[in-house]
Amino acid sequence: MILDGKALSEKRLEILKEQIEDAGLYPHLATVLVGQDPASQMYVRMKHRACERVGIGSVGIELPAETTTQEVLAAVNRLNNDCDIAGILVQLPLPARVDTERVIEAVHPAKDVDGFHPTNLGKLFSGHPAFVPCTPQGIMTILAEYGIETEGKNAVVVGRSVDVGRPMAALLLNANATVTICHSKTQNLPAIMRQADILVSAIGRANFVRADMVKEGAVVVDVGINHDENGKLCGDVDFEAVKEKASAITPVPGGVGPMTIATLMENTFRAARANSCTRVL
């Protein structure tokens, strides 16, 4: 079974558009982009297009690469105090000269639609999530949509990043899975991966996950966005080989990526409903 994140995102965005119209709200999402990294620029454009589609206003703050931490913090603070802005997204990665942790912590938790603020991460790990990072939440939506049971299952998450690996593990744990997190220092990694009923790979290595690392009938979720030796877009998983062994698998592209953006839109709407300052039509 192919877990079609693109089709699901289309469905979720249509539902969200109706919800926004019914609520009589006109939420606004602000993006902060520092520098001119082409990938970051592309991701920001995709997010603004999604906003336009569902009826969310979007504001783009673009700052030059030489911008200081203090200048980025000032921009974030202005957005925190703008009652028209329901959600704030700082596009990562930031240039090396900018203190990323300080910037993330500067975003007000109530506008942190990316779910990276320590307050929101703490709520997630305590089992009482508010805003959850969009990629792992999108994965949970995919699993629910396709009726994939998590309770009592062995889940293995490969990758321990703050934006995907760690919150993914917390969400699966909250959903009563038995969770193992693997990383670059993990010993006997293939053996651990073969124990997974649900395998989530978020390590950013092209075609790293081979068929011999996957349990027969496992659900495989590929978070990776890479390019192979021929320059072709691919994930962490050797899709053609692993799909013959997995019971369900996400493709790249068209799997997790579209659901990340759909979840961002849903988080922005949730922030708008909770924000008494947001403009009401």
Asked if 79 and 43 touch (Cβ cutoff 8 Å), the reply is no
Report the distance separating Cα 14 and Cα 225, nearest Å.
26
What is the 8-class DSSP label of residue 186? -
Three-state SS for 102-133 is: HHHHHCCHHHECCCCCHHHHHHHHCCCCCCCC
**Catalytic one of 47, 153, 215, 243:** 47
Report the distance separating Cα 258 and Cα 53, nearest Å.
14
Report the distance separating Cα 55 and Cα 77, nearest Å.
25
**Catalytic one of 91, 197, 238, 243:** 91
114 classed as catalytic: yes
47 classed as catalytic: yes
243 classed as catalytic: no
Distances (CA, A) of 177 to 2, 134, 141, 152: 22, 20, 15, 5
Peptide bond into 253 cis (omega under 30): yes
The DSSP code sequence of 204-246 is --TT-B-GGGS-TT-EEEE---EE-TTS-EE-SB-HHHHTTT-
**Catalytic one of 4, 112, 114, 238:** 114
Asked if 70 and 97 touch (Cβ cutoff 8 Å), the reply is no
Q: Is the dihedral of CA 110, 112, 113, 117 positive or negative?
A: negative
Residues that are catalytic? 47, 91, 114
